[in-house]
Amino acid sequence: MTDPVYAANEDRYQKMSYRRCGRSGIDLPKLSLGLWYNFGSLASFDNVKRMAHFAFDNGICHFDLANNYGPAYGTAEENFGRLMSSSFRPYRDELFISTKAGWDMWPGPYGNWGSRKYLMASLDQSLRRMNLDYVDVFYSHRHDPATPIEETMQALVDIVRSGKALYVGLSRYPKDKMEQAFEYLKSRDVPCLLYQDRYNIIDRGPQKRGLLDLSYQNGTGFISFSPLQQGLLTDRYLNGIPGDSRIAGGKSSLKKEALTPEMLKALNALNGLAAKRGESLAGMALAWLLADERVSSVIIGASSAEQIAINLKALGSAPFSSEELELIDSVSSPIQLA
């Protein structure tokens, strides 16, 4: 049943900046919304709806999901399906929706990795959960070293040709496998639209491993997730670990051991620079990513509409001076991951 209350903000597209995704016809919002931990069965659906509506009302038209987002597995997609049924259906053609398969989803040999059987079965399940006929982009969520890359890529090609996805993407692939995948897809007229990886001030792996350059040269957009390094690049941990944090409760993959004296010193120095710029540490971290034109979009997470509103402020950040960028590099150097 359609929600009679929700009508999208008429000025939504004036509130967001968009960036072309590689050599394609797609513009993505500079900030996209990831529907992961706070959008599954443990979350209040009213809050899920509030966040999704707020995001769309502010021009965030890209929603990023995966088959096993929750918890529990599949429930983020189910909640998105409820949104489609209750309020988003009239706006389907304005939405850019992604999902993925590649990690553990169901028991047995066909519920993980990158076989043709798994990818196709998973997408069919995702479409049913989300109440969709197609997704805009479907990702191979990780490289499968035990399956020929030709099998995985041909499955993606056939998924596009079936009409169940308009574009395909890759996530967390090593560089040599990215190159093979890009070539295979391009030779079959289904070029890779997006490459997704963790990228932020602390974790610069895609930059150091040449993945940003490779994506750019291939005409593939790059989209960053975990832009705040699971909350480290916020003011949350500047004075240690709060008692009510997910780290303290043992509910985060971020461990207490990450909060070393060197980490705290660097985070406070970065926070000091952000303050001089008149913004939060999180806002500066998002702006730092968007300062790189190779980055098509940044996927933010949220537990409330208020958090989304705070992240949106990064769109108005002042350009970085060369001195500021050098200082960020220098201060973060001791804590950067490989």
* pLDDT single digits (tens) 215-260: 999 999 999 999 999 999 999 999 888 877 767 666 667 778 888 9
Q: What is the pTM of this model?
A: 0.95
pLDDT (0 to 100) of residue 249: 67
DSSP 173: -
Buried b (16+ CB within 10 A) or exposed e, 126-155: bbebbbbebbbbbbbbbbbeebebeebbbb
pLDDT (0 to 100) of residue 338: 63
pLDDT (0 to 100) of residue 174: 98
Low-confidence spans in the chain with pLDDT less than 50: none
**pLDDT tens per residue across span 186-214:** 999 999 999 999 999 999 999 999 999 99
CA-to-CA distance for 288 and 281, rounded, in angstroms?
10
pLDDT (0 to 100) of residue 243: 74
SS3 label, residue 147 = coil
Name the residue ranges covered by the structural domains of the chain: 12-335
Architecture of the CATH domain 12-335: Alpha-Beta Barrel (3.20)
